[in-house]
Structure 1
Amino acid sequence: MTDFEPLPHEEQLPILLELANKALSHYDLPAGSTAKMLNLSENATYKVDAPDGRRWALRVHREDYHSRQAIASELAWEIDLRQTGVVTTPNPVKGKDGEFIQEITHPRMPRPRNVVLFDWETGVEPGIGEDLSGPFEVLGEITARMHIHARQWQRPSWFTRLTWDFDTALGDDNPHWGRWRDGVGMDREMKQLFQRTVDLIGRRLKAYGKGADRFGLIHCDLRLANLLIDGHSVKAIDFDDCGFGWYMYDAATPVSFYEHEPQVPGLIESWVKGYRKQLALPKEDEAEIPTFIMLRRVLLVAWIASHIEAEFPKSLGAGYTDGTLPLCEEYLRKFG
């Protein structure tokens, strides 16, 4: 389902752009600043350019995904991570009314949209074809520091975020990103193999448990598109899916959409090496990383199907579902 049916998908984009440009008037920005879409995923993200060369990133939140309180919770964690030097995160900008979250209306939308503006962060998105062993080691260190922070931080009393566990990811009752059974190109034989894989993931995670040393507040989406390489530093952006999940899930998300690539085991080794520079990582936790990679892969099959009208999911389509089959077989062979 799209954000505001019955509008066709192609008509949503210009309306979102109109709303984004309308939102700019709510901030103290230079006259003549304009918004241009960067990507459309859960939210619509825009690059804002001012005539004097300054830049910002504007995020228009989708309907019915996060409440205003949940968005404020995300920003609270981001701000504290940045201020305490744990990791460089996007810096939110207050509107003219002193609030980080602005509510913008459009006559062709049934309800207002929540909008957040961020200072522009320098850096380059890493590519899977590059030598990422160094950046993944740095990312492992950063992730460990984030996990330490999450365990020690006194969250505001009103803090609320989604929980990402087996049921909310791959369960049958209203999972956050849709049902894996609805994957693009899924047929009966595929469903049988996927089901065996999902059942194994469920059994292993039930045995693994949700102890405080294994389950807590995490980024949840440290994929390459949400990282910026700036010299020797790695910045983490887009905390829109942060929530409560297994810490080792943050080891799996950096290889999202590339789980099948041959360099992935080496990248995970680099990540683990960096992580252990900051925080002890028991062998039992390291041994379960393949389960979280498989969980993420199946979850993304569901995500692609539920977002198929957007350009990136459409480009992956049935090929991503097909490419998951050998990963299922390998996982069942090794851990079943």
Structure 2
Amino acid sequence: MEKTVEGLFTEEILCLAAEKFNVEPSTLEKIGDFENYIFKGKREDQEVIIRLTHSSHRLFEDIEAEIDWVSFLKNNGLNVYEQFRSQNNDYIEAFTAKDGSDFYACCYEKMPGVRLGWKDIKNNHDLVTAWGRTVGRLHKVTKNYEVPVGKSKRPNWDEEELLEIEKFKPDIPKDIVTYRNEVVHAIRKMPMTKDQFGLIHSDLHFGNFHYYEGQLYLFDFDDCTYHWFANDIAMPVYYTILAGELAGEFENTHQKEKFAAKFLADFFKGYDQENSRESIQEKDIEWFLRLRDIVLLSVLYKKFDLTNLPSQEKKFLDSVYHRLINKELIVKLT
């Protein structure tokens, strides 16, 4: 979390939010604080999640739109969380910080199962197929989603402030800015048919679902946006390859590409059971791998203390920077 937001978040705000959603404050345990503050706790003996989002990160209307879409997905058979209303019968409660900004609190069902790691995925072909099947189902369902009359819609992909890498690193090399422009321009030229473009999760890596009794249970819809479906396929590839690299699993480029090919084959085996991918090409997926590097470098510049980076974080940042300055892919698919 950015230091400016850390300085505004207080125990009082957390307790007020918990009480408003009938969650016992003494049961709260922080489980995340990267872009939102995430706590698990107990609501009438049920395990739940309390999420607090600062107004500098998301507008109230953005969260409202997210909640509506998640409810739509749940009503159409996706394994997503139930969202709970507050004592005021609202899904979102606002709490004002000392500078006049707001924290928006929401309360959700805690999904069954546990988060996964590289070792859980490495040789689990059934999991990867279930992953693909779930993404295919999500894409099939979202084609029929319509924003309620009078309500705001989620942002388009190119409204993401993280595309403006100069905002977070004013002295970023011009070569990276030029490359960013090339990637964004190429993506903007892609067809936007109903079978290719719609509201997607946009961050469905293995840290954002639980795998339980052969099924995926999805969460963290904070980044949901109008985007190409291919981006929802690029994210599993990107972060799985990244996890393998960080674990030192790939001895060379060939081994990495071989793993990616098998991963995609297993993933598409499931995806094809739910949704047609005739309009999704591997060359398109590669553009979104490039886009993820751009967005991720912005995130790192925004979130990391560059003057005091632990060695693992520096290695991570350096690898993303290297790929961008050399216009390289994290892994080639074609």
Q: Same fold (TM over 0.5)?
A: yes
**1:211 partner letter:** T
Task: Note if contact 1:3-1:63 (Cα within 8 Å) is conserved in structure 2.
Answer: no
Mean Cα displacement is larger for which, 244-253 or 258-267? 258-267
Instruction: Name the CA shift for 1:103/1:202 in 2 (closer, same or farther; >3 Å).
Output: closer
Instruction: Name the CA shift for 1:43/1:201 in 2 (closer, same or farther; >3 Å).
Output: same
**Which residue of 188, 200, 212 corresponds with 1:230?**
212
Aligned-residue sequence identity (percent) comes to 19
Correspondence 1:30-49 to 2 at 5 A:
33-49=26-42
| TM-score, L = length of structure 1 | 0.80
**Which residue of 107, 118, 142 corresponds with 1:150?**
142
Report SS of the residue matched to 1:276. Answer: helix
Instruction: Name the CA shift for 1:258/1:314 in 2 (closer, same or farther; >3 Å).
Output: farther
Instruction: Name the CA shift for 1:203/1:26 in 2 (closer, same or farther; >3 Å).
Output: closer
**1:34 partner letter:** T
Report SS of the residue matched to 2:294. Answer: helix
**Two-structure CA RMSD over aligned residues (Å):** 3.3
Q: Could you list the runs of 5+ residues in structure 2 that have no partner in the other structure?
A: 245-255
**2:263 partner letter:** L
Q: 1:132 & 1:308 partners in 2: Cα distance? A: 33
Correspondence 1:1-336 to 2 at 5 A:
2=2, 4=4, 9=6, 11=7, 15-29=9-23, 33-49=26-42, 54-85=46-77, 87-106=78-97, 108-130=98-120, 131-157=123-149, 158-165=151-158, 168=159, 175-176=161-162, 178-179=164-165, 182=168, 188=173, 192=175, 194-195=176-177, 197-260=179-242, 261=244, 262=256, 263-282=259-278, 285-308=281-304, 317-324=313-320, 325-326=322-323, 328-331=326-329
**1:146 partner letter:** L
Task: Note if contact 1:91-1:118 (Cα within 8 Å) is conserved in structure 2.
Answer: yes
Q: 1:230 & 1:156 partners in 2: Cα distance? A: 32
Task: Note if contact 1:38-1:45 (Cα within 8 Å) is conserved in structure 2.
Answer: yes
Question: How far off its partner does 1:272 sit?
Answer: 1.9
Task: Note if contact 1:21-1:35 (Cα within 8 Å) is conserved in structure 2.
Answer: no
Report SS of the residue matched to 2:273. Answer: coil
Over residues 56-91 of structure 1, what are the superposed CA-to-partner deviations in whole Å (9 max), with x where a residue is unaligned?
100001122322222111111111211221x21121
Question: How far off its partner does 1:196 sit?
Answer: 6.1
* Residue in structure 1 matched with residue 248 of structure 2 by the alignment: none
Q: How many residues of Structure 1 are paired with residues of Structure 2 in the alignment?
A: 313
Over residues 129-185 of structure 1, what are the superposed CA-to-partner deviations in whole Å (9 max), with x where a residue is unaligned?
3234322211211112211211112321213111113xx45xxxxx3465078569x
Q: 1:161 & 1:54 partners in 2: Cα distance? A: 30
Question: How far off its partner does 1:93 sit?
Answer: 0.7
Q: 1:4 & 1:252 partners in 2: Cα distance? A: 32
**1:112 partner letter:** D
Report SS of the residue matched to 2:143. Answer: helix
Report SS of the residue matched to 2:28. Answer: strand
Q: Could you list the runs of 5+ residues in structure 1 that have no partner in the other structure?
A: 170-174
Report SS of the residue matched to 1:100. Answer: coil
**2:165 partner letter:** R
**2:89 partner letter:** G
Task: Note if contact 2:112-2:217 (Cα within 8 Å) is conserved in structure 1.
Answer: no
Instruction: Name the CA shift for 1:333/1:319 in 2 (closer, same or farther; >3 Å).
Output: closer
Instruction: Name the CA shift for 1:45/1:91 in 2 (closer, same or farther; >3 Å).
Output: same
Instruction: Name the CA shift for 1:238/1:316 in 2 (closer, same or farther; >3 Å).
Output: farther
Q: 2:333 & 2:274 partners in 1: Cα distance? A: 29
Report SS of the residue matched to 1:252. Answer: helix
Report SS of the residue matched to 1:282. Answer: coil
